[in-house]
A and B are shown apart, each in its own frame.
Chain A
């Protein structure tokens, strides 16, 4: 089945720096890649997603890039703020698998003021 590896497991940055989280997936049939942010004790919140027919997508300070050949995708957060501190999860979905997201293990991002 699909497997998603996420790195790093923890990431510490200074406010204003950029943060990059990388994920690789195993199944070349995967075609949908969402990213979720989960603050302590709260629900995972969808922050951005990308489909396999697109190489890059941006939303203000957040961007996601996809390299289908290498089977990896990355989350980029620019001008980080303390409120960006949370656990970030990448996920992948195979187009024939209804409702199933396969998640990475998560990255704990800490932004120091």
Chain B
């Protein structure tokens, strides 16, 4: 069974641009969570989607948004990029909408802002 797939693996953008990251969950998984990983702040929760609905959101500004499609694939968008947005963006999928299901991570997208 294929794991969580994130594309692209690497991105270089400049300040003020916007970016879209993609996440395909494990087949059959319907919940997708997004995290930002930085050396200073560690792993921080961005948001979670299930059945095309955002059910939970972390403490990030409105420039960070996401969506989920009917096939459970999810995208994350960051607008008006800032230098501080440079990070590894990870998505994780879990099997069902039940609470506290194990989450399995993708390899991440490394975003660098120049």
Interface residues in chain A, defined as those with a beta carbon under 8 Å from any beta carbon in chain B: 1, 31-32, 34, 36, 42-46, 49, 51, 89, 91, 93, 95-106
Contacts and interface: CB of A to CB of B under 8 A. Distances in A.
B23 to A, nearest CB: 12
A97 B80 CA distance: 29
Given A43-B90, A43-B108, A102 B100 contact: no
A99 B50 CA distance: 9
A32 B102 CA distance: 9
B16 interface: no
Interface residues of B, number: 29
B48 A99 contact: yes
Contacts of B31: 98-99
Contact of B94 (A31, A51, A97, A99): A99
A46 B103 CA distance: 8
B102 A98 contact: no
Contacts of B67: none
A106 B55 contact: no
7 contacts: A34-B102, A34-B103, A36-B105, A99-B55, A100-B33, A101-B103, A103-B42
A101 B45 contact: yes
Given A43-B108, A44-B90, A106-B42, A100 B100 contact: no
A102 B105 contact: no
